[in-house]
Amino acid sequence: MWRQIAFAIVLVQLTYLVATLGINGPAKRPGDKLLFAHVIYRHGNRTPVGTYPTDPWKDVSNWQTGRGELTNVGKQTQLLLGRWLRKRYNSLISDFYSTEDVYVQSSEYDRTIMSALANLAGFYPPKGKDIWDKTIDWQPIPVHQIPRSLDNTIASSKPCARYDEELKRYLHREPFRSYNRSIASVYEYLSKHTNMTVDNYTSLVTIYDVLHIQHLSKLKLPEWTRTVYPEPLTCISATFYRLPTSTILMKRLRGGPLLKEILNRFQQKINKTLQPDRSLWIYSGHDITILSLLDGLGVLKTHVPSFAACVMIELSTAVDGKPFVSLFYKNSDAEPETMVIPNCGTRCPLQKFGELYKHLISENWEKECAL
C-alpha cells in the first residue's frame, strides 16, 4: 500500500514534467541585462518544533538550542547560500552595502531573522570603507521584520477567515477524504509507537519533521521508525505540504499577496518609478513561503523543501530591450533548476507574466478575507 502511494506521487511528478515541456530555450542569452531579482529562501536547519511521548531525544538538553530554533549547521547553510547569492548577483549589487541597492525582509521568527543575518554575513562581508573592526569579518545589515499579526506575505500568519473556511471545506471533501482514508494504516502505526493520537495531517507531519531533523542530525532513530521513515512518511508529508494551496481561492489568499508585491516592483522597475531604485529584494521565510509561491505559479513538484531552499524570480531585458521574467529554484547544493513558467516558458514577457497570474491578485485582501 505505502509503496503504491509513493509510486503514485512519482507518477504525478512525471506527468507534470511532460505537461510543462514548453521550453523556449535557455533563460539567459547573450545581450540580456539583469535588472532586478527577488530572492525567497527558507530558513536554515533548525531543531524540531514538536516531539512525541516516546521520542528518545525529546529532552531539550539533547539539542544545542530550544525548539524550532536555528542550529549552527543552519547558520553555516545560510552563510554558504549568502556567498553563492553574492556570486550570482555580483554584477547587480555593489560590493559596499547600501539601502539603495537591497532590502531584506523576514517573518517575525527567530530562525528566519537569524537566517537572514547569517545569509547577509556571506553576502556582504565588509570591504574597504565598510570595514569597521579588523578582527570581525562581518558588518551589521538591517533585516526588516513583519509582525506575525500583519504578515500575509512570508509566514501567512495574518488571520484570514475566508481562507480558514475554504481549507476546512477542502478537508471534508474529495479527493482529500479518500487520500486520508488510504493512509489509515500509517496513522494507526504511528499512534501505536508514538503513544499519542496521530489521526490528521498536522500530527503526522509533526512526526515526520521530528524524525527527519533527528536523521539529519545523525541521531539514532528508534527501530520502529524503519517501517515508516524515510518512506512512506516523506511522500505523505510532501503531499500534505500542498494542502495550504489546494484550491484557486487558497492560492489567491495564501500566495497571492507575495506575488502581488513581486509583480508591482517589477512593473515599477520598468516604469522607473521604484523608490528607492533597488535591484534586489530578499525574503527570509519558511517552507510554506516557498511552497505557496511555487504552487501559485503552477510549477510546484510535490516535495518537502530543504532547509535554505531558495527561489529566485528575476527581471531582465533582452537584447531588443523587452522585459522578461525568469524563475529559478535551488533546493540543494547543486546549481538551481530553471523552471518552466506554464504557457510562457523560461523567458516569460513581463506583461504576459502579469496576465497569467492576475487571477491570484486581490485588490483588497483584507476585504476578501472577511466572511
Residues assigned a catalytic role: 43, 287
Dist. CA 62–CA 76, nearest whole Å: 20
**Chain centre distance of CA 69:** 17
What is the DSSP code string of 249-303? HHHHHHTHHHHHHHHHHHHHHHHT--SS--SEEEEEE-HHHHHHHHHHTT-PPS-
Query: How far is Cα 280 from Cα 291, in angstroms, rounded to an integer?
Result: 21
Q: Which of 364, 161, 156, 162 is nearest to 254 (CA)?
A: 156
Could you tell me which of 189, 162, 153, 100 has the C-alpha nearest to residue 290?
153
CA neighbours within 13 Å on the CB side: how many for 259? Answer: 29
Half-sphere exposure of 209 (CA within 13 A, CB side): 22
β-pairing, 323-330 vs 348-349, is antiparallel
Give me the residue label for grid cell 512526526: 207
In the chain, where do the E strands start and end?
A: 33-42, 102-107, 144-146, 280-285, 310-317, 323-330, 337-339, 348-349
Bridge partners (DSSP) listed for residue 102: 280
